[in-house]
Amino acid sequence: MDKAAVEAYLEKHGINEALQEAMTASVKAQSPNAKAYIGASLIGLSGLDVPGLVPALQKMAMEPQTDPLKFLLQELHGREMVGFTATVGAGGSDLVSQYTQKMTADGCSETAIKAFLYNFEKLTSGANLMIPEASLSPVESLPSYDSLTEEKPALLKETVMLKLNGGLGTGMGLEKAKSLLPLKGDDTFLDFIAKQVGHMRQTAGVDLAFMLMNSFATSADTLDYLSKYPLESQGLPLEFVQNKAPKVTEDGLAPALWPSKPDCEWCPPGHGDLYPAMVGSGTLDKLLAKGFKYMFVSNSDNLGATMDLKLLTWFANSGAPFAMEVAARTDADKKGGHLAMGKDGLLLRESAQCPDEDEKAFQDVSKHRFFNTNNLWINLEALKATYEKFDGVLPLPVIKNGKTVDPRDKKSTKVLQLETAMGSAIECFPGAQAILIPRTRFAPVKTTNDMLALASDAYEVTPDHRMVLKADRKGVPPNVKLDGCYKFVDGLMSLIPHGPPSMIKCDKLTLEGKMVLEAGVIFEGEVKVVNAKDEAQTLKAGTYTGSVEL
């Protein structure tokens, strides 16, 4: 096939024009990796083998195709890229260039850009981002923590403990890191975490490696607060910072613009960003170079999640590349993500991935019995190999969340935030496992409902500085539902100015209306307290059960 015929074919199918646009954008952006940039501009996924284009086109011209662009991608990238025709046909090449330029200009790493473009390609491909009930089956049984006995202290020298600390707690009315919130006395989440690490180092006689994944919003305050604790060790930095992702305009899918508040144009990409942040920051390579093999990851707001030698030993002995700690679902957990079995193995389904018609099955805790605690164990060598296997992009399921560009202005431009969940990586690792843990390893604070429960006598602080349910609770936390006026922390403090009530024997607590609890209030069984008046009423000291009207 001669050169003229190739050029004619390129022009006929618009491929030449798309290439020229991509190459021009690459020059304007001064991309250090033009080949990857052009590939990203074409298909929403960097790493396209552009030098192989002409041979692929020659083959395609001699074997006429009904979908030439799709065939081209199959030839060049070695796998099916569903939705490419739609992406390019809808101006996707230009949009991908816009996102690439925006993220490059803001200093985002190549790994972060790849991760976002993968998510964006999934969005524009028209692929179903939901996980319907019919596509999965329940997990019937799992190994249990209660059966573990073996401990190998030497493994601690090869293990790093990581806390995710990127959240601002805006849902609780906070404008600072949620981990700076006092929980018991003057101790914040960060105090508890620092004391947990110190206790483990002292009792095990090992300088346990510890790191944080902060966000740009939490880094400075967190490092300043923790400066009183000797947490850095083994030449490792105390933190690496998670990435940020552009918000996507709902109408047209262009990068969202908000000149009056440019920060509003960006959003956290979900805690699934752990993986590209580790790779892009160089943290993964640093850990491997220092001989670390395992990582234990948990949320900073879960004070039950400490380094556990039995679990570490089980994970190392299993040879699994990835393991998730799960707990038994109760009614209080029915809206959270659950573990399930897909066609290729274990997977995690979040509520945002559940079709409306399957909500009842999703919330059936007798069917889907286990939920993800976000306590994860990762084999670092396996993580590196998996990244290489997938060409530098971990193919996590994409979660699409509808928002407004300015969260405080509900009339501002409607946008989509593309997020991933770190637990969903369980489906990326063949041989990944899950283990049932006691509820004592799961004590998170997501809302003021959780905060009230943890502050009460239903929970206690252990000698190793964990916040755990008392044994009398038999692993089931109080189900707390507070009135909307207590959604923020300052509202909660107005409810309990004299300290939290006793809830050690409380199954469910519902508070409706404005009120103030005196010291000495005790809730038992199922309790509902209602104040229908406009003015706040006082609930006097005493024991309450059933319905109470003020």
Interacting residues of 450 by C-beta distance below 8 A, sequence separation 6+? 444, 480
Is the four-CA dihedral 278, 308, 351, 165 of positive or negative sign? negative
Provide the CATH topology of domain 448-549: UDP N-Acetylglucosamine Acyltransferase; domain 1 (2.160.10)
CB 199 within 8 Å of CB 190: no
* More confident site: 77 or 550: 550
Mean pLDDT calculated for residue range 184-197: 90
| Cα torsion 479, 485, 486, 488: sign | positive
Taking the C-alpha atoms of residue 191 and residue 221, their distance in angstroms, rounded to an integer, is 13
Query: What pLDDT does residue 85 have?
Result: 32
Residue, of 39 and 441, whose pLDDT is higher: 441
Q: Region 487-512: what's the mean pLDDT? A: 93
Which residues have a Cβ under 8 Å from the Cβ of 467 and sit 6 or more positions away? 183, 184, 192, 303, 304, 443, 454, 459, 460, 461
Looking at residue 144, the DSSP 8-state letter turns out to be B
User: Taking 60 as the threshold, does the pLDDT of residue 51 lie above it?
Assistant: no
pLDDT in tens, 217-244: 889 999 999 999 999 888 899 999 999 9
Chain centroid to CA 184: 27
pLDDT in tens, 17-30: 655 555 555 445 44
306-325 mean pLDDT: 96
Q: Evaluate whether 217 touches 177 at the Cβ level (below 8 Å).
A: yes
Query: Contact at 8 Å (CB) between 129 and 122?
Result: yes
The model's confidence at residue 176, banded by pLDDT at 50, 70 and 90, is confident
3-state secondary structure of 270: coil
| Tens digit of each residue's pLDDT (9 = 90 or more) over 374-401 | 999 999 999 999 988 888 888 888 888 8
CB–CB of 495/541 below 8 Å? no
* pLDDT over threshold 70, residue 35: no
- Least confident segment among 42-51, 417-426, 486-495: 42-51
Cα torsion at 500, 505, 508, 509 (round to 10°)? -30
The fraction of the chain above a pLDDT of 90, given in percent, is: 53
Structure-block tokens of residue 106:
């803001």
Tokens at 12, concatenated: 């006929």
Is the domain spanning 133-441 CATH 3.30.70.20? The answer is no
Q: With beta carbons less than 8 A apart as the criterion, state whether 447 and 484 touch.
A: no
* pLDDT value at residue 37: 47
H-run or E-run covering 545: strand 542-549
- Write down the pLDDT at residue 50: 43
What is the spatial distance between Cα 234 and Cα 289, in angstroms, rounded to a whole number?
A: 12
The pLDDT value recorded for residue 287 is 96
DSSP three-state, residue 313 = helix
* Whole-number pLDDT of residue 72: 53
pLDDT value of residue 456: 92
Q: What percent of the chain has pLDDT over 70?
A: 83
Residue 515 has pLDDT above 90, yes or no: yes
Q: Which residues are catalytic?
A: 446
| String of DSSP letters for 471-482 | GGGTT---EEEE
Could you tell me the pLDDT band of residue 335, with boundaries at 50, 70 and 90? confident
* Phi-psi map region of 327: left, alpha, beta (phi>0 left; psi -120 to 50 alpha): beta
Three-state secondary structure call for residue 525: strand
pLDDT of residue 127: 72
pLDDT band at 97 (very low <50, low <70, confident <90, very high): confident
Each domain of the chain, given as residue ranges in start order, spans 3-105, 133-441, 448-549
Q: Tell me, what's the pLDDT at 86?
A: 30
* pLDDT confidence tier of residue 77, bands split at 50, 70 and 90: very low
Q: What is the pLDDT of residue 383?
A: 96
Higher pLDDT, 132 or 173: 132
Mean pLDDT value of segment 145-159: 95
Q: Are residues 437 and 145 in contact, defined by beta-carbon separation less than 8 angstroms?
A: yes
pLDDT of residue 13: 56
Q: Greatest CA span in the chain, whole angstroms?
A: 93
Range with the poorest average pLDDT among 75-79, 214-218, 363-367 = 75-79
pLDDT digits (tens, 9 = 90+) for 254-273: 999 999 989 899 988 888 99
Average per-residue pLDDT for the chain: 84
